[in-house]
A and B are shown apart, each in its own frame.
Chain A
Amino acid sequence: MIFTLILATAIAQTPDGAAEKARDIIAEITTFKLVEAVIIVLTAYFLIQVFSRLLFWLSERVAKEWRLRIKQFVPFVRMMVLSVALIVLMNRFLNLSKENVFAITGTVAVALGFAFKDYVNSIIAGVLGLFETPYQIGDRIKIDGNYGEVIAYGLRGLRLRTPTDDVVSIPHNKIWTHSISNSNMGSLEAQIVTCFYLEHAVEPQRVQDILYRVAQTSRYTQIKLPIVVNIEDKVWGTLFTLKCYPIDARYEFQYKTDLTLRAKQTFKDCGISYPHMPVPYMKDA
């Protein structure tokens, strides 16, 4: 109803010939056509749901190396079903002749320009995102202050699952204005950074050796990828940063926990102590 009103308002603002044509098209809309449209929309929705569920189900049952590839196929399937549904609908209602397409695109463009500017902006960003791939399903990204795994790639936006198991919806148009950091870019591994805060008095070489061993012995570590230990001196102590990759980025947080557990146990066995941080420096840490 609102859409028809907006369309009518838009028609009023367009040149006479085009407006007349558009009025004719609207006059041809019958109840039967509307029922047909509802059936087409429902079928498209049903197909999208079936394909998405099927692909997600399949992706969890094949070898992990195929998991992300299959999931990344979901947005394409959605786009295809939606495009087909849209073309069928337009053909039903607008009788897609050359003149009608010209008349309607101008009209719809004005209407959409007024009403759904941001929505269309997000849809266009989503379609471009499919090809530019700043993020795909299964990637671990940070966007607009939110970090997590991309679990859905919709028409308008994406859904992120955060470490606290919240699902955050973010519109695709953030691509235009925000920086996006992607940890794995479609691969199974993503670098994990774990920080260890120790006293100034510790032997850095020894701690470095221990941290290498900690990473090499964790069950989650992808051993064929590099392991790096960085050391940084702070006012309150020494910061050791262990950078390594898990076999499957899905286990990121379990991996971090495992690394911390192993390191803490070894530090305890070797008598390596933690810094006593003065309150003014807490912020720095």
Chain B
Amino acid sequence: MAKVSSLLTSLQTWLLQRRRSLIAWFSTDQKENSLPEESLKQLPSALRRRLMQQLKHLPSHPDHADQLKTDFRQAFQAWHSRQRSSPDDWEGDHHDNVWIIVSPSVANLPDVMGVFLKAIADGDAQDEAALSHQGLPLQLVRWSTRPDGKSLSKELQQQENKFSSTDGRRIVVIPCLEQCFLRSVSGLEVIDCLTQDLLSDPSRFWIIGLGQVSWRYLQAISALDHYSDRTTHLEELSGEQLSNWIDPVISELSIEFQSSLLRSQFTSQNLDWKTKYFSILADEAKGVDTVAVQLFLNTLQVINDDDHRGDDQATQLNDLETDKLQGYKIHAKLPERPGMPKLMGESEYLLYSLLLHRTLTRQELADSLGMTLRQIIPWIQSLRQAGVIEQQGQTLTLNPIYYPTVCTKLEGDNFSL
């Protein structure tokens, strides 16, 4: 009898603890769960814009720069000591003079590299053109338009003439290699020039940054991995790292994380909602900062503090100025990846091209696909309309929020990512 009674007591306790999730499972009345969310409204557009700007201007995550600094020390030291110990070996085949940094294809690698370069530069690192490390000039190679093989060598030569070290040695940095080539017969000349002529020069220490998809592609077609023993893959950011990074924005707007959706998902009373939220955010964003920022923005909603306000007042939220948000609170709902819209024609090849090159003009996109502009414009329009790709000026990029979804789709469709 006592056993039965204890069993019933433990069942009662379990039911009490689990009541939220059980109600969520069995409740047929959807309103029961959604009631607290009813007063949630989309962020006012002005506030969304301001937030977007703030998040865009966040400096790249400091942990990435730290990771690069540690790996750079080892790579640079290996090249440096090899030259000092056996200068005759300079003419040999293996120089240990290439260090490759691989990032997710939508991560802001040039920014990460910028922070890292300033961190390793000697003295005052404000002037990007006069950067140096241990007395060796840091030559940053960037182009406004995609170069060909000849202009790559010419640009390097011109910069070498500007800054020279005593022994002719230098550090050359290409922050975004995928913006130097195009997937076409002539567009790959720059990779041929780089691998056949430039990387073999032992007086240069190369720091090359590129996206994951480009890395896979160049490994397959040019065996780029054979030119370097040292490759650094940018680490995925954890929930805690993301939370610390976005914290200034969260504090400024006093964003709350204990939304009813989070409460219904997790019943433990002692849970730190913010920690849980960012752990889900990191998972959904695959640890990529640019994706996390977009997902974070999408989860924010405004809740009316005063329940007695009418619907009319609530609908006026969109017209609210950001400094007049008294009486409203910003809540974060559960982060969730957007679904993949139905793709038109062979649009998956277009998405792969954008992942491969990071940014492309329409003409470059057509050239890389081996098609005409007339053929690809309907696909571009359809993807832009669905929000999968974005156009900034003349260039097209993948909307970072779709990065995990697009990767899953392309991997399932047999693409090598």
A residues contacting B by CB (< 8 A) are 62-66, 188-189, 210, 213-214, 216-220, 222-224, 247-248, 251, 258, 261-262, 265-266, 269
Contact = CB atoms under 8 A, between A and B. Distances in A.
A217 B220 CA distance: 11
Nearest to B352: A219
Given A65-B412, A65-B413, A219-B352, A213 B188 contact: yes
B220 A224 contact: yes
Interface in B165-191: 183-188
B370 A219 contact: yes
Nearest to B350: A219
A218 B370 contact: yes
B415 interface: yes
B185 A219 contact: no
Given A223-B221, A261-B370, A262-B370, A217 B413 contact: no
A132 B217 CA distance: 37
Contacts of B370: 217-219, 258, 261-262
Interface of B: 183-188, 216-217, 220-221, 346, 349, 352-353, 368-370, 409, 411-416
B137 to A, nearest CB: 34
B412 A210 contact: no
B272 to A, nearest CB: 36
Contacts of B217: 223
B188 A216 contact: yes
B414 A64 contact: yes
A214 B414 contact: no
A62 B340 CA distance: 12
A64 B414 CA distance: 7
Contacts of A63: 409, 411-413
B185 A213 contact: yes
Residue in B187, B217, B221, B352 with the greatest tally of chain A CB atoms within 10 Å: B221
A218 B187 CA distance: 12
A213 B370 CA distance: 13
A63 B413 CA distance: 5
10 contacts: A63-B409, A63-B412, A210-B185, A217-B368, A217-B370, A219-B183, A222-B416, A247-B413, A265-B185, A269-B186
| 10 nearest CB pairs, A to B | A63-B412, A223-B220, A216-B221, A219-B349, A64-B413, A213-B185, A224-B416, A266-B185, A247-B414, A188-B414
Nearest to A247: B414
A248 B415 CA distance: 9
